Amino acid sequence: MTIEKKVENGKTVLLLNGRLDTTTAPELQEMLIPEFDGGKDLLLDFTELVYVSSAGLRVLLLGEKTAKATGVEQSLKGVSDEIMEIFEMTGFADILSFE
């Protein structure tokens, strides 16, 4: 997986490309959590993401909890139907915010 970071409309955007799984989830966590200290809302762009495992779900949940604790908004965009189905089956569709 690759992660590209940019700022758009006052938000930090992380563009994820590839697979968010056991191997790559720690990389996302390492990049994601410090972003909440900056005070900017965070947008995770899933347009190029093809897969999310339970390890990836754990990082997304950690991000959501950290966002709420710091008053920063975390949202997702470009979520494919396949990944949305995973979010719906696991209840994450009710926890996460989507654009």
Q: Range of 47's domain?
A: 2-98
User: What pTM was estimated for this model as a whole?
Assistant: 0.94
Which tokens in the block code for residue 72?
Answer: 């920063």
Those residues with Cβ within 8 angstroms of residue 95's Cβ, 6 or more apart along the chain or in another chain: 61, 64
Q: Where are the alpha helices (DSSP H) in 15-53?
A: 25-32
CATH number of the domain where residue 19 is located: 3.30.750.24
Sign of the CA dihedral running 86, 88, 94, 97: positive
Structure tokens at 31: 């990049």
Number of domains in the chain: 1
Q: What is the pLDDT along the chain (99 residues), one digit of tens a residue?
A: 999 999 999 899 999 999 999 999 999 999 999 999 988 999 999 999 999 999 999 999 999 999 999 999 999 999 999 999 999 999 999 999 999
Q: Which residues pair with 57 in a beta bridge?
A: none
Residue 98, amino acid: F
